[in-house]
């Protein structure tokens, strides 16, 4: 197993203050609800992909969303940073409250919201730019005025990629391996100093070793960030998450501490899914 | 038996298609051969130095002067002017269409653009001559002659906007959605995604689109003959009459040149140069668009 870089401690604080001023900034104590989903229903046209889901995401925890394909995990996840805004016929009802602010209120600016809620996608999608510029991109457009070199290094270290790329920061990111690209995408998201990191099956395009590295990484990220993770891999959910939510056909069947859910599921559907009898 | 018939048919169609392909290749080859063959006597009589470096073009006068520079200059002036008009408008319109326009608006605008491409170039020529020059250009620069490069450049620019816009739009839409999503997820605005991800991501495709449009602008004949005039002038001032290579060819072919005369050989020589330039531009454009296709694979 590869030795991970030591966690570098939170980048919050000084660096953060230099970004565009933000209405959401008062820190909350650990263990608080950071994202509260209330009676959320999401429709594509007439089809309800998410049905009346209520779910709390706690600060500094990894929350896993599991469930059979098509049950609405991605849709729910993308609602948290309003990425569904770009889907033409997608309609959201209910509320999502992020640190006290309802994000679907007319007054809430989704661009500002996404500064606090980063996202890592299923397939690594680095920009066709250099490694350095991939990481600096988000910070730059958001008006980061600090030491960019330092920020890039910190984020790459945090994502466990620094040692592998420190001598080729100017090379185009598309030459990296899939696992490296995914860690680069994580570093890129970290450069914005988000509070919450949304990850939609971040390992599904990766081999077991690259997957193990990302899982280690998620584990470390929890000290400074909050992670919401969609995964098809039950072992992965069990390994890295603190809480697990099981969705089935758009409904939230059960949400529980991960070890409880996997050892004593309350609902027979959950039981059937985690023991591999369907899905 | 049936199977046999089908095989025969298959082969027949194959042969027919091969003949068609060969025919088009043969036509092209024929054109090139004619161009070269017919201009050989010209290049025998006129030294290359005079042809390419001479500053005066008067092939039909006595004594004839065969300096191509004024024609090249006229073509260059109008092409550059047309690009100044068409590139900013065409590229930003394409960026708007692919990144900002709601789908319904897009469904209306795209066909309109294609109609613009279908307007015959005579119409553009007369629009330049009878509207642009007297009502716009003469007002801004009063000393401008009725035939001038500026009006021709503007209408040629309008003519190539659809090419640039439509091909750039294709290039923009070839930028993977996942990259746009990556940008949005990093708190970029629509404008930032369009300008900093989509535009650079499609840069080589846009360059290819522009080059193809350059090819069209260089080859455009009717509008420039009508609007820019037929007076070969070595100038970079757009408010003068100029003649392009195509306009010269049109002018001379309209009069009765007898085959085998120097005037006719001269015509083919200019045609050959024009062909070489457009071929070069198109080759570079193709090279660019091939590169652009490989970017995301
Ligand atoms: N843009 C869309 N338009 C219409 N229907 C959609 C759209 N996106 C998703 N859906 C539908 O919504 C439902 C939930 O999709 P979603 O992508 O959230 O599922 P998922 O749980 O992430 O599945 P998977 O595990 O396969 O990724 C599916 O039935 C899907 O067909
Ligand atoms: Mg999904």
Residue ranges per structural domain of chain B: 2-45, 68-291
- Whether B187 and A114 lie within 8 Å, measured CB to CB: yes
* Best CA proximity match to B24, nearest among B13, B32, B36, B14: B32
- CATH class of the domain defined by A21-274: alpha beta
Note the ipTM here: 0.86
**Which ligand minimizes its atom distance to the CA of A42?**
1
Q: What confidence score (pLDDT) does residue B79 get?
A: 96
CA proximity to A205, closest of A123, A126, A111: A123
Write out residues 170-199 of B within 8 Å (CB-CB) of A.
176, 178-189, 192, 196-197
Q: How far are the Cα atoms of B125, B126, B146, B227, B251 from residue B130, in angstroms, in the given order?
A: 9, 6, 9, 9, 20
CA distance A111 to B20: 56
Record the tokens describing residue B140, joined without a space.
Answer: 């801004």
So what's the pLDDT on residue A263? Answer: 92
| Closest residue by Cα to residue B91 from B179, B192, B169 | B169
| Residues of chain B with C-beta less than 8 angstroms from the C-beta of A125 | 176, 178-179, 181-182
What parts of chain B have a pLDDT lower than 70? 1, 292-297
A123 and B CB contact within 8 Å: yes
pLDDT, residue B295, reads: 52
| Domain locations along chain A | 21-274
Choose the weakest-confidence range: A151-155, A273-277, B110-114: A273-277
CA distances from B10 to B2, B7, B17 (A): 12, 5, 11
**CATH numeric code, B68-291:** 1.10.3720.10
pLDDT at B269: 94
Confidence at A21, pLDDT banded by 50, 70, 90: very low
Averaged pLDDT of chain A: 87
A78/B contact by beta carbon, under 8 A: no
Assign A204 a pLDDT band (cuts: 50, 70, 90). confident
Q: Which residues of B touch A128 (CB under 8 A)?
A: 179, 201, 295-296
pLDDT score at B293: 59
- Cis status, amide bond into B63, omega within 30 of 0: yes
Q: Residue A114: pLDDT above 60?
A: yes
Average pLDDT over residues A30-48: 91
Rounded mean pLDDT of A96-121? 93
Query: What's residue A26's pLDDT?
Result: 44
Question: Which residue, B1, B111, B182, is CA-closest to A133?
Answer: B182
Sign (positive/negative) of CA torsion A185, A168, B194, B162? negative
pLDDT above 60 for A143: yes
Write down the pLDDT at residue A184: 96
Which of A47, A48, A75 best tests ligand 1's pocket when mutated (most atoms within 8 Å of CB)? A75
Residue A47 has pLDDT above 60, yes or no: yes
Q: Specify the pLDDT at position B258.
A: 83
- Using the Cβ of A121 and the Cβ atoms of chain B, whether some distance falls under 8 Å is answered with yes
Write down the pLDDT at residue B102.
Answer: 86
Across residues A32-36, what is the average pLDDT?
92
Could you tell me the two tokens for A58?
Answer: 């706690």
Q: Place A6 in a pLDDT band, splitting at 50, 70 and 90.
A: very low
Interface probe with B: pick from A87, A138, A175, A193, most Cβ of B within 10 Å: A138
The residue whose C-alpha atom lies closest to atom 26 belonging to ligand 1 is A69
Of A111, A112, A125, which has the smallest distance from its Cβ to B182's Cβ?
A125
């Amino acid at each position: 197993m590869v030795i991970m870089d030591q966690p570098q401690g939170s980048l919050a604080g000084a660096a953060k203050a230099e970004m565009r001023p933000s209405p959401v900034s008062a820190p909350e104590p650990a263990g608080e609800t950071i994202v509260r989903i209330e009676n959320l229903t999401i429709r594509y046209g007439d089809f309800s992909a998410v049905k009346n889901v209520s779910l709390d995401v706690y600060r500094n925890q990894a929350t896993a969303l599991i469930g059979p394909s098509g049950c609405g995990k991605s849709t729910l996840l993308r609602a948290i940073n309003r990425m569904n805004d770009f889907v033409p016929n997608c309609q959201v009802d209910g509320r999502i409250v992020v640190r006290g602010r309802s994000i679907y209120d007319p007054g809430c600016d989704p661009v500002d919201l996404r500064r606090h809620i980063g996202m890592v996608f299923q397939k690594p999608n680095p920009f066709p730019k250099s490694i350095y510029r991939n990481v600096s991109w988000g910070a730059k457009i958001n008006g980061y005025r600090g030491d960019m070199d330092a920020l890039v290094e910190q984020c790459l270290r945090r994502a466990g990629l620094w040692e592998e790329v420190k001598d080729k920061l100017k090379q185009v990111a598309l030459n990296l391996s899939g696992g490296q690209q995914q860690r680069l995408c994580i570093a890129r998201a970290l450069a914005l100093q988000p509070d919450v990191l949304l990850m939609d099956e971040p390992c599904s395009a990766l081999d077991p070793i690259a997957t193990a590295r990302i899982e280690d990484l998620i584990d470390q990220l929890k000290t400074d960030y909050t992670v919401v993770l969609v995964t098809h891999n039950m072992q992965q959910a069990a390994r890295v998450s603190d809480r697990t939510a099981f969705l089935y056909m758009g409904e939230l069947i059960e949400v529980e501490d991960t070890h409880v859910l996997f050892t004593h599921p309350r609902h027979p559907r959950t039981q059937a899914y985690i023991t591999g009898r369907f899905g | 038996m049936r199977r046999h018939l089908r095989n025969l048919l298959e082969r027949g169609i194959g042969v027919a298609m091969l003949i068609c392909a060969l025919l088009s290749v043969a036509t092209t080859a024929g054109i090139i051969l004619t161009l070269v063959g017919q201009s050989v006597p010209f290049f025998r009589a006129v030294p290359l130095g005079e042809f390419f470096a001479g500053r005066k073009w008067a092939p039909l006068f006595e004594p004839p002067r065969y300096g191509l520079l004024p024609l090249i200059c006229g073509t260059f002036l109008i092409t550059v002017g047309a690009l100044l008009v068409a590139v900013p408008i065409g590229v930003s319109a394409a960026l708007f269409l692919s990144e900002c326009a709601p789908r319904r608006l897009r469904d209306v605008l795209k066909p309109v653009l294609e109609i613009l491409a279908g307007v015959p170039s005579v119409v553009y020529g007369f629009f330049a001559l009878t509207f642009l020059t007297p009502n716009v250009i003469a007002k801004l620069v009063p000393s401008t002659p009725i035939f001038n490069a500026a009006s021709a450049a503007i209408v040629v620019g309008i003519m190539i906007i659809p090419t640039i816009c439509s091909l750039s739009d294709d290039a923009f839409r070839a930028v993977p959605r996942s990259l746009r999503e990556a940008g949005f997820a990093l708190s970029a605005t629509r404008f930032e995604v369009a300008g900093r991800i989509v535009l650079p991501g499609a840069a080589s495709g846009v360059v290819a689109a522009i080059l193809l449009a350059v090819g069209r602008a260089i080859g455009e004949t009717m509008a420039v003959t009508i609007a820019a005039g037929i007076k070969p002038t070595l100038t970079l001032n757009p408010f003068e009459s100029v003649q392009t290579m195509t306009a010269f060819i049109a002018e001379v072919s309209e009069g009765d040149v007898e085959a085998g005369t120097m005037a006719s050989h001269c015509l083919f020589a200019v045609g050959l140069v024009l062909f070489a330039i457009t071929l070069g531009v198109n080759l570079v454009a193709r090279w660019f668009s091939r590169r652009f296709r490989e970017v995301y694979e």
